[in-house]
Chain A
Amino acid sequence: MTVKALDISQLEIGYGQQNSNPTKVAGPMDISMTSGELICLLGPNGVGKTTLLRTLAGILPALKGHISIHGKNISEIHKKTLAQSLSVVLTDRIGYGNLTVYELISLGRIPYTGWLGNLDKTDKEKIQIAIAQTGLQPLIHKSIHQVSDGERQKVMIARALAQDTPVILLDEPTAHLDIPNRINIIRLLRKLAKETNKAIILSTHELDLALQAADKIWLMTMENQTFSGTPEDLVLNDVFGNTFNKDGITFDKSLGVFKVVEYHRGRLRITGDEVGIFWTKRALERLGFEVIIGQENVPKIHVSFHDNSWNWEYLINDKSEVFHSVTDLTQHFKMKGGHG
C-alpha cells in the first residue's frame, strides 16, 4: 500500500484544547488522500471546515486523534519541518505592509532561510517557479495593494507554492471572486495537483465547481459525519443532496444543481424547438411552474422558430393563444394566478 499524503484518523477538532472543557466542533473523522489529488472540502456554514483546515495546518491543536503527512505524525514534527511539508492559503486579511508581489511570494521561503531571512540561489529559483506556475510575471513589481482580488488570491497561492510543500490547504480561495476568476483559480489548482503531484485541499461553497473539478469531495454534515468520495458517487448515493436538502431547497440529481425556486403553480408541458424549450423552461420555473418535457395531460406550450422570429403557442382547454416573446408569455402568467 502506498503511503498517504495526508492521513486523518479518529480526529476530533474544536477550540480550547487546554481548557478542561473544550468545545468540540466535529469528529471523530477518518479520511485520507494521496498525492496529486485535488480535494474539495464541502459542508454547510458552521460545520467546521475552517476549523478542520486550521487543525490540519497546525494552527489549532487537535482535541484528539492523529494527523499524519506522508506517514509522519504532525504532532511529532518540529514546527519548522512541518512548514516544509504543509502550506496554507487562509481567509485572513493581511497587514501586507508596503510589500511588492515578489516580496510577498518570497516570504514563502521563510522555513528554509537563515536567521536573517536572506534568499539563496535555490530560494530564488523556487520563487521564480512559483511565479511562472501562477502566471504572475507581469505583476511582480506591483505593490500588493495595486492588484485585483483575483490576482491577490493568486499571489497567496504563489506564496504557498514557493513554500514548496507536498500538501497545500486553501480556505475558500474563491470567495469574493467573480465567475471567470473562480474558474481560473480552480483550474490553476487542478493543474498544480496534476503537474506537481501535490495534495491540495480547498474548502469552498461553490458546489457546482467542486462537482466538476474535484478528484474527491470531503463532505462534512451537520449530523457530524464526514463522507469522502468522488463527486459522482456522493451525488448518486444521495449523500450530497441529503446534506444540503433543508427548508425546501432540493438538489436536482439529473442536472447537478440546486433548485432556486419552489414549485407552487402547477405543471406545464413544453414541446418544440430544443433551445427554445431550455430558456422557456427557466422562465416558467422562475414563476413557480413545474415544467415537464414528456407526454402528460397538462396545459401545453409549443415553442417554434421560423421566419426569424420566436413564437410561443399556449394551449389550454382547446383554446390557444400566441406570444412573440418570453416577456409577453410570462406577463400572461403573472397577470393571472395558476394556469391563466
Chain B
Amino acid sequence: MNDRSQLSDYTINHPYKMWSKTVLLISSLMACLVLLLLDVGLGSVKIPPWEVLKILFGQQTDNELWHKIIFMIRLPKALSAILAGSALAVAGLQMQTLFHNPLAGPSVLGITAGASLGVALVMLSGGGVASIYAIRQLGVGGSWLIVLASGLGAGLVMALILLMSTKLKDNISLLIVGIMIGNISISIVSIWQYFSEPEQIQDYLMWTFGSLGGVTSSQLGIFSTVIVVGLVLAFTSSKALNTLLLGENYARSLGLNIQFTRIFLILTTSILAGTVTGFCGPIAFIGIAVPHIARSVLGTSDHRILMPASLILGAMLMLACDIIAQLPGSQMSLPINAITALIGSPIVVWVIIKSKNLRTAF
C-alpha cells in the first residue's frame, strides 16, 4: 500500500508536467516575438511603432523608404539573428555534451577557425583581382564568394576532424585535436595578415567583427534552409545525447553506436556553425553561454527539453544583442561580436553565482 501512495506521489510532483512545459514554450515564443518586433522597430532611421506593424502586416504605407528599410534591411537582419542564435546555441549544446566539457562550444572543433582561414585566403590573397572585384561589387559581409570560401574552409577542417575521429578512440583526444587544428588555422591567418596590405587586413578584421546585416534577402532562403535542416538533424540526436550523459562505456552498454553518434554530432555541428560563420562571420560566446543558461533556468539535463530551450534562448539572446548593438536612439551601431560577449558574459556569471551547480552538470 505504501508503495502505491509513493507512486502516485511521484506523478504529482514530477517537475516536467505537461502544462508547465507548454506554458514555458508559449511564453518564451511570445518573448521571442516581442524581441523580434523590437529589433525590427528600432534602428538608425526612426519609424513609428504603429507604422512598423502596419508595414509588417502588409498594409500600404505612405513612406516607400520605410517599407524598403524594413523588408530589405531590418527583417532579414532580425531573421539572421534568430537563425544564427538558435544554430549556435544548439551546436554548443551538442559539443558540451559530446565532450562532457562546460567550455566546449561550436568553435571547439576548429570549424570556425577553418571558416576564418577560408575567408582570409580570399581577402588577403592580394593578387586575386577577381576576389577584390567581387568584394567591392557585393559588399564584404554578404558576398557569395566569402560564404563559399568560409564554407570550404569549414568543410576542410570538418573532413579532417571526421578522419581523426575514426582514428581516435576517446573524445578528450578528439577535443584536443580539434582545438589544435583551430590554433593552426588561426596562426596561418596571422602569418598571412603579417604579409598583407593594411587595407586587406582591415577588410578581414571587419569580417571578424561579425555582421548580421550582411545576409541579403536572396541569401536568406539558402541560409534558413541549411540551418533548419541542421536543427532538425540536431533534434534527432536528443536521445543519443541523453545516453552520453552516462559516459561512453554506459552508452555503449545501452546499445549506442558511439562511432556513428560522434560522426553525426560533428556533422550537424559543422553544418550549423560553419553556415553561421559563412553568412555572419565568427560570432563568439552564444554557443557556449546559451546551453548553460538553459540548463540552469530549467534545472534539467534532458536534451529533449534542452534542445528546444537552447534554440529559443539562443534566438532571444541574439535578438537582444542585435537590439543593443544598434544603440537605439543613435546613428551608430556596434559590431555584433563584441556585444554578444559583452552582454552574455555577465549573464553567465550571474547564472553561475545563482545556481552554484555548473560544475555538477559535468
Contact = CB atoms under 8 A, between A and B. Distances in A.
A132 B3 CA distance: 7
B247 interface: yes
A54 B253 CA distance: 9
Nearest to A91: B249
A288 interface: no
Interface of A: 54, 57-59, 78-84, 86-88, 90, 92-100, 102-104, 107-108, 110-111, 113, 115-118, 128, 132, 137-138, 140-141, 143, 145, 163
23 contacts: A59-B252, A79-B257, A81-B255, A84-B255, A90-B247, A90-B249, A90-B253, A95-B362, A96-B246, A96-B360, A98-B295, A99-B245, A100-B15, A103-B301, A107-B243, A110-B239, A113-B239, A117-B239, A118-B304, A137-B3, A137-B6, A145-B360, A163-B254
B51 interface: no
Task: Give the top 10 A-B pairs by smallest Cβ distance, nearest first.
Answer: A97-B301, A83-B255, A117-B239, A80-B255, A137-B6, A95-B100, A79-B255, A88-B253, A98-B301, A110-B254
A110 B3 CA distance: 25
Nearest to B253: A88
A122 to B, nearest CB: 15
B156 to A, nearest CB: 28
Interface string B241-266: 01101110110111111000000000
Given A96-B245, A99-B245, A57 B253 contact: yes
Nearest to A169: B253
Interface in B27-79: none
Contact of A128 (B7, B100, B242, B245): B7
Contacts of B361: 95, 97-98
A88 B14 CA distance: 27
A57 B253 CA distance: 7
A96 B246 CA distance: 6
Which of A58, A78, A113, A115 is the most central at the interface, judged by chain B CB atoms within 10 Å of its CB?
A115
Interface residues of B, number: 34
Given A103-B302, A115-B239, A94 B246 contact: yes
A198 to B, nearest CB: 16
Contacts of B249: 54, 59, 88, 90, 92
Given A83-B254, A86-B253, A137-B6, A95 B239 contact: no
Given A90-B249, A94-B247, A95-B247, A115 B295 contact: no
Nearest to B11: A124
Given A57-B253, A116-B239, A98 B360 contact: yes
A104 B245 CA distance: 9
B300 interface: yes
B245 A140 contact: no
Nearest to B5: A137
A88 B100 CA distance: 21
Contacts of B247: 90, 92-95
A91 to B, nearest CB: 9
Interface string B348-362: 000000000100111
A98 B252 contact: no
A97 B362 contact: yes
Contacts of A141: 10, 13, 15
Contacts of A87: 253
Contacts of B250: 88, 90, 92, 94
B238 A98 contact: no
Interface in B121-174: none
B187 interface: no
Nearest to B2: A137
A26 B306 CA distance: 44
Contact of B243 (A57, A110, A143): A110
Contact of B245 (A79, A90, A94): A94
B236 interface: yes
Contacts of B239: 110, 113, 115-117
B58 to A, nearest CB: 37
Given A92-B250, A141-B13, A110 B245 contact: no
Interface string B13-26: 11100000000000
Contacts of B255: 78-84, 110-111
Which of A86, A116, A138 is the most central at the interface, judged by chain B CB atoms within 10 Å of its CB?
A116
A138 B100 CA distance: 29
A252 to B, nearest CB: 38
Given A90-B249, A92-B250, A95-B246, 7 more contacts: A59-B249, A79-B256, A103-B301, A116-B238, A116-B304, A137-B7, A143-B360
B299 interface: yes
Contacts of A138: 6
